Amino acid sequence: MDKAIVKLENVSFSYGKNKVLEDVNFSIEEGDFVGIIGANGSAKTTLLKLMVGLLEPDKGAVYLMGKAIKDFKDYKSIGYISQNVRHFNPMFPATVKEVVGANLNTSRNFFERSRKKEEEKIYKALEIVEMGQFMDKKIGKLSGGQKQRVFIARALINKPKILFMDEPLVGVDLNSQDKFYSLMEKLNKEYNITLVMVSHDIGVITEKVNRILCLSRGRVYDHKPDQTICFDMLKEVFGNKMNILIHRH
């Protein structure tokens, strides 16, 4: 078995008759930091959902950690932060502690008090994202960037091997963006977590990641970030649609 942590083989996917991905092949290796880019509607979210098993491909196969996605049961080893995770009602009655703790011992009942050990785990996960002092705050009262960090902490609490993030930087200011990337570097290098993130900010992400997947017209193009070959694609992503892509992959 190879070291691929995620592998897609000839994957096609459609919503009804709308084919959004066609014959996609790539793999992600352990330790990678992968950026996924593409125009709005280019199926980035769909691709991510296929990788974590929220959607099933019409054709082809998805493997997670060497296992066919259907047989994959090691839920704790993957973290997924969806594109709309922050869009919950701000009145929702839940503390940061409750949200982050949700990923621990999902069988816990109403009266069982969370034990010291668990509180420590929650606190530790929050400390990694520098949100420790917000444990008992109501989650709806945090800022967008702070919520973002809480959801990263929720994903980190089980010490995942791989973390999928769908546009985590939308609505995050420049300063927090820097902090976000240094956090990503820490997770990638210190905690050995493979990272897969969708982003719109192509200029920045190409500097930070070691691989780029470009999505366009249902296809996925795999690049090293320093290869200029991707830039035609980026032009299209930026909206220069008149430029028809002619380069071969």
Interface with another protein (CB under 8 A): 52-54, 73, 75, 78, 80, 82, 85, 88-89, 91-95, 98-99, 102-103, 105-111, 138, 154
**Binding to ligand ATP in span 60-119, by CB under 6 A:** 83
Q: At what angle do helices 174-189 and 144-156 cross, to 10 degrees?
A: 10
**With CB cut-offs between 5 and 8 Å by kind, which of ligand ATP, another protein, Mg ion, none does residue 15 bind?**
ligand ATP
Residue 134: what residue type? F
Residue among 133 and 227 whose Cβ is closer to another protein: 133
Residue among 12 and 83 whose Cβ is closer to another protein: 83
Beta partners for 35?
197, 212
Distance CA 35, CA 82 (A): 15
CA 184 → CA 47, 64, 180, 208, 248, distances in Å? 21, 21, 6, 9, 32
Q: Which residue of 45, 148, 199, 206 would you call a contact of Mg ion, by CB under 5 A?
A: 45
Q: Is 15 in the site for ligand ATP (CB under 6 A)?
A: yes
Residue among 14 and 83 whose Cβ is closer to Mg ion: 83
The percent helix, strand, coil of the chain (3-state, each to 5) is 35, 25, 40
Task: Give me the residues that bind ligand ATP (CB under 6 A), please.
Answer: 15, 18, 20, 38, 40-46, 83
